[in-house]
Amino acid sequence: MDVADLLTSAGINISVCVVAFSLYSVLRKQPSNACVYFTRRYISETIRHDDPFSLHRFVPSAGWIMQAWRATDEEILEAGGIDAVVFMRIVVLSIRIFIIAAVICVFLVLPVNYYGKDMEHRNFRFESIDVFTIGNVEEGSKWLWAHCLALYIITCAVCVLLYLEYKSITKMRLAYITGSHPNPSHFTVLVRGIPWSQDHSYSKSVESFFSTYYPDTYVDHQMIYRPSTVHKLKKDAKKMYRILRPVETEYVRGDKPCYLCGGTAHTFKLLQNGEDSIRSQTSIDELHPTQIEKECPAAFVFFKNRYAAVVAAQVLQSSNPMLWVTQLAPEPHDVYWSNLGIPYKQVWVRKIVVLLIALAFVFVFLFPVTLVQGLTQPQVLIHWFPQIKEVLKLKFLNRLVTGYLPSVILILFLYTVPPIMMLLSRIEGNVSRSDRKRSACIKILYFTIWNVFFVNVLSGSFINQMSIFSQIKELPMMLAKQVPTQATFFTTYVLSSGWASLAFELLQLFALICNILRRFILRSKKEPTNIALTFPHHTEIPRLLLFGLLGFTLSILAPIILPFLLVYFFLAFLVYRNQILHVYVTKYESAGQFWPIVHNATIFSLVLTQVIAVAVLAMKKSPMASGCTIPLIIISLLFNEYCRKRFSQVFKRNPAQVLIEMDRRDEQWGKEEGIYNRLRSEYCQLAYISRDLTISKDFSVAGPNRQSRTDHNSPQGADENSLKQGTHHIKLQK
């Protein structure tokens, strides 16, 4: 591939981005698309539309870019929570790292690679990409020290920036814990593996166990029941009617009947509004006379203070580690209720099965990757499809087929990965939605790094893929030989997968098509439901980290990728800020739990780059430069170990010192009674079943910590005021 081919691919993607961004700036102004591009406002308030015949609605503009650029971290925090702020800091960190790498490598390494051999250079447009790689440097050249120096500068910059970011995010997480309103999850422990007794129910066993061993701090518990289904609810129509009966409603003519329970849809709305009154009169324990048969061997156990809950969550409760297994409970809105009923003894079996399925999927995916690799080589493509030989003689089509098409095909195959990994993470038995998304994020990250990077570098056929496992010792040398030769493919992959994916993320094509079908094809006048989307951390973080890996490994081997990579990160900064502010809704908060994944993946990318550099410099017969690179590997690993000891524990466990101070503060302010009254209702399984059966905009936008309509004289109003104080505290810490 020459520079002209690369420019052709860049031109296609630039055109796609310009068209998509222009189309977005027009579509977002249309009143009918408010539910697609302003979802956060749409579900919380009535949006006033402009004059439908105004001209500016149909003229592309860059106003949204300026709004995204001017948005502050405080606005991001208010809109998306800590996780959104952490994600944007990942993007900013990537920009800082690769600005340093681009300046060093483009002005120092790239000229060394270009003039590395005594040769006559052709017109720049028709130069091969290979002349910009380290493969163009003569063996034993003293200029190879430039690559070693550049790697030292990049390594030092990455370590310093990672340390500062880790420290800052850790402070932000602690500020969130200490400054926010009392979180029910801090007082609650999830207990699984409750032993079966013929004499009494699981509920009695839990009460007896914790009353005996935690008599001073145990408050109450809430059993977990088998998850209900629509079929089951239809059979229990009479039972649901008895729950709804305390709400006296007047039948309003025109209300559509609810065929689930015989009432009206209006009745269900009143159930949501009168939830607290119903819950005070009806307990989930009274739903069925044979409730003992419906109990699962799991429960939420409530304690008087945070410190007692942490101790109970971390202590081994029984001599048999498979019984009375405890952990801190997830936030109420973060609970994945359908997985709580899984017996704890099945969890490790499920994890093994999921691991085997994921490995099998990785190997099955070798076939499309091999196909994509064949498309990048014209001679292989002609061998597979002899009839296109004449077509490939046309320069533009040759550039399109061998330069742009392979990365597009690979991207289409990769779109099948996130749903499959989310399904596997669900089967795994994760008890919270954030854990499920985090587990899927790790799986997708491993999958993309292996299939997009290693498989494309090391292979040409399925047999060659298998042979690398018998040559592990030669893996660095194989990477050193093949990585520079794949620079063109990875550069076009950044263009097609990076730039174009941001354009489609901005357009929200799936939601837009559904909205068009609903409004203009089906002619439905009903308000859309279930449109609130949470931010897809499990897909976007692996993409950022994969591009980071490509940037690190090719920074000194083929620096030509760095300008294109920087453009991607700058576009990502604008697009993701816009989406967080207007589209995605925060339903639960993990307080930055994705950051350790980012840190570890960055260190892995840095160490892999250093290993490849050692092998490349050794192949280029520069043993001194190769030997001087080895200490960088040791320094990076020691730095990672220091960060693991210094910071990572805060993301796994809450500090006792902080929790005790919070308990004392609540005791001084007299908040204990209010907290105790909330615990059981917050983890009431009936409440979440009823929410699933109703249509409530307030619930969608309120999320775990916010309410759209709140009486400031009520306990909920006090909680919201506390949350605002906590958010302000986070701002000060930042």
| Residues 636, 544 share a domain | yes
Q: Please tell me whether residues 426 and 312 are part of one structural domain.
A: no
Cβ neighbors of 592 (< 8 A, separation 6 or more) are 82, 83, 86, 169, 172, 173, 176, 651
pLDDT at 323 over 80: yes
- Let me know if residue 702 belongs to a domain: no
231 and 153 belong to one structural domain = no
| Residue 216 Cα to chain centre, angstroms | 40
Residue 79 identity (one-letter amino acid): A
Whether 555 contacts 94, CB under 8 Å: no
Q: How far is CA 18 from the centre of its chain?
A: 27
Cα 610 from Cα 477, distance rounded (Å) = 13
Residues facing residue 264 across a β-bridge: 257
Return the CA Rg of the chain.
Answer: 29
Instruction: Identify whether residues 623 and 689 lie together within a single domain.
Output: no
Whether residues 37 and 156 fall in one domain: yes
The sign of the CA dihedral 648, 652, 654, 655 is negative
- Pair (65, 166) in one structural domain: yes
Give the 3-state secondary structure of residue 653: coil
Do the domain assignments include residue 272?
no
**719, part of any domain:** no
The last residue of a domain, from among 625, 654, 683:
654
Q: What is the pLDDT of residue 273?
A: 42
- Residue 140's pLDDT band, with cuts at 50, 70 and 90, is confident
Tell me the average pLDDT across 233-257.
Answer: 46
Please, what sign has the CA dihedral across residues 25, 29, 32, 38?
positive
**Helix, strand or coil for residue 574?**
helix
Do 491 and 617 fall into the same domain?
yes
The DSSP bridge pattern shows strands 218-225 and 295-303 to be antiparallel
Backbone angles phi, psi at 321, to 5 degrees: -65, -10
Greater pLDDT, 24 or 282: 24
704 part of a folded domain: no
Q: Rounded to an integer, what distance in angstroms lies between the CA atom of residue 540 and that of residue 519?
A: 30
The domain boundary, picked from 602, 631, 654, lies at 654
Same domain flag for 105 and 210: no
β-sheet bridge partners, residue 189: 301, 328
Asked whether residue 261 is domain-assigned, the answer is no
Same domain, residue pair 87 and 164: yes
Give residue-wise pLDDT tens across range 661-704.
Answer: 888 888 887 776 677 777 878 887 765 544 444 333 333 333 33
pLDDT the model gives residue 142: 87
Confidence (pLDDT) at 91: 95
What is the domain-level CATH number for residue 308?
3.30.70.330
The mean predicted confidence, pLDDT, of the chain is: 78
Region of poorest pLDDT, from 83-87, 372-376, 508-512, 584-588: 372-376
CB burial of residue 298 (10 Å; 0-12, 13-18, 19+): buried
Alpha helices in 245-365 (DSSP H): 265-273, 275-281, 291-294, 306-314, 337-340, 344-364
Q: Domain for residue 693, yes or no? A: yes
Does some domain include residue 470?
A: yes
Residues 130, 229: one domain? no
Do the domain assignments include residue 236?
yes
Question: For 160-193, what is each residue's pLDDT tens digit?
Answer: 999 999 999 999 999 888 877 778 888 999 999 9
Domain count, the chain: 2
Q: Are 306 and 187 in contact (CB under 8 A)?
A: yes
Q: What is the distance between the alpha carbons of residues 576 and 278, in angstroms, rounded to a whole number?
A: 41
Cross-strand bridge partners of residue 221: 301
Task: Write down the residue that tokens 């030292």 correspond to.
Answer: 152
| Ramachandran category for residue 621: left, alpha or beta (phi over 0 → left; psi -120 to 50 → alpha) | left
Question: Which of 527, 567, 569, 525 shows the shortest CA–CA distance to 546?
Answer: 569
- pLDDT at 59 > cutoff 60: yes
pLDDT of residue 632: 94
- Give the separation between CA 658 and CA 186, rounded to whole angstroms: 12
Same domain, 405 and 545: yes
Contacts of 600 (CB under 8 A, 6+ apart): 640
> Can you tell me the distance from the alpha carbon of 43 to that of 26, in angstroms, rounded to the nearest whole number?
22
Tokens representing 494 are 């950044």
Name the residue range of residue 689's domain.
Answer: 185-242+292-330+669-697
219 CB-side CA count, 13 A: 22
pLDDT in tens, 580-590: 999 998 888 88
Answer yes or no: are the C-beta atoms of 549 and 98 closer than 8 Å.
Answer: no
* Mean local confidence (pLDDT), 355-362: 90
607's torsion region: left (phi>0), alpha (psi -120 to 50) or beta? Answer: alpha
Residue type, 391: V
Same domain, 150 and 237: no
DSSP state, residue 220: E
Strand runs (DSSP E) across 143-217, as ranges? 188-192
The string of pLDDT tens digits covering residues 521-551 is 877 777 666 777 889 999 999 999 999 999 9
